[in-house]
Amino acid sequence: MASARANLIILRLRRLRSKRFYSNPATMRGKLSAHQSRRKARPPSWIRRRYRVDRIVVDGHHCYTVSPRRGVRSNRHVFHMHGGGFVESPERHHWRFAARMVDLLGCHYTLPMYPLAPRHSHSTIVPMIEEAYNRAMLGSEPDDRLIFGDSAGGTLALLPTRHLRELRVPQPSGIALFSPWIDLATDDPLSLEIDPVDPELGVTGLRQAGQWFAGSRALDDPEVSPAFGDLEGSAPITVFIGDRDILLPDARRIKQLGDAAGVEVDLHEYPGMFHNWIMQPIPEGRHAVEQLLDFITRTERRTVS
């Protein structure tokens, strides 16, 4: 059973008709300017007051690193690809989650403001992210690096890490994925079954966003949909998903890929949970963050041993 606070958020999402943006491609296109606001792609004022914020510019796009104002307590550096269907700037919950992780880990936490679809496709988005990762992580050891990705950020986490493996470059110590989207066709029968009860995402809109990201490539091309690639040689992965999220099949697919490649994948399915619930101030979110911290600790012990 979902907690009372979780149910209140679901009710709020329905009252705000949050699902409309991802339910109809025409609606999505009409609202793009608001969802791609430059204001949303900058750290909020409260982040700047409470934390140190450093910025680099990669291919004309900002990349922000949030750190404790009084100095880091850990060598860890998190690189987080925010979600939003490749078409949205970060939401408030992304900045809140970054702040919470910095408080808990005492680490550096980087969010790249990557170029957005439909103006840009994977051919410019992924290279920018890879360059941002290389520059942001200068001076840190691979064992201290963590890659996070939520929603579309799941694809933007798995594509670059696969490229690292192909180049025989050391992997980060771990990868954490929250409500990941890795099959851009979004045509699994289970997704269609869940669609009516998902309070935020819609299959039709996601498919359109996936086509924009894929550009001229087919949606089942591993270069745009990690669901059709492999995880051979990947760092350990932890995945959080709810059963009221149309991306549930994607999360399960990551577990299948990990099992096939002999890669550790911890899959956490939460009953009644919606998209990106781990970032919300609810009991389920707090419990999931504890599991995330346990995963980070285990990856750290593994690299030390």
* Measured distance CA(176)–CA(110) in Å, rounded: 14
Per-residue pLDDT tens digits of the chain, which is 305 residues long: 899 999 999 999 999 899 999 988 889 999 999 999 989 999 999 999 999 999 999 999 999 999 999 988 999 999 999 999 999 999 999 999 999 999 999 999 999 999 999 999 999 999 999 999 999 999 999 999 999 999 999 999 999 999 999 999 999 999 999 999 999 999 999 999 999 999 999 999 999 999 999 999 999 999 999 999 999 999 999 999 999 999 999 999 999 999 999 999 999 999 999 999 999 999 999 999 999 999 999 998 666 55
283: nearest Cα among 92, 95, 6, 96: 6
H/E segment holding residue 252: helix 248-261
Q: What is the pLDDT of residue 16?
A: 87
How far from 162 is each of 28, 172, 197, CA to CA, in Å?
30, 11, 33
Q: Look at residues 239, 305, 240 and name the one whose alpha carbon lies nearest to residue 271.
A: 240
What CATH number has the domain bearing residue 141?
3.40.50.1820
Q: Are 265 and 254 in contact (CB under 8 A)?
A: yes
Report angle CA 294, 298, 303 to the nearest 5 degrees. Answer: 150
Facing residues of 61 across strands? 58
For residue 303, the model assigns a pLDDT of 64
Say how many Å lie between the first and final Cα of the chain, rounded. 39
Pairing of β 61-68 and β 145-150: unpaired
| Separation CA 45–CA 65 (nearest Å) | 14
Range of the domain at 125: 4-304
Count of domains observed in the chain = 1
Tokens of 251: 């999360």
- Does residue 84 come out as left (phi exceeding 0), alpha (psi in the -120 to 50 range) or beta? left
Q: What is the pLDDT of residue 176?
A: 98
Q: What is the pLDDT of residue 24?
A: 86
Q: What is the pLDDT of residues 37-61, one digit of tens each?
A: 989 999 999 999 999 999 999 999 9
Helix (H, G, I), strand (E, B) or coil at 201: coil
CA 104 to the chain's CA centroid: 19
Report helix, strand or coil for 108.
strand
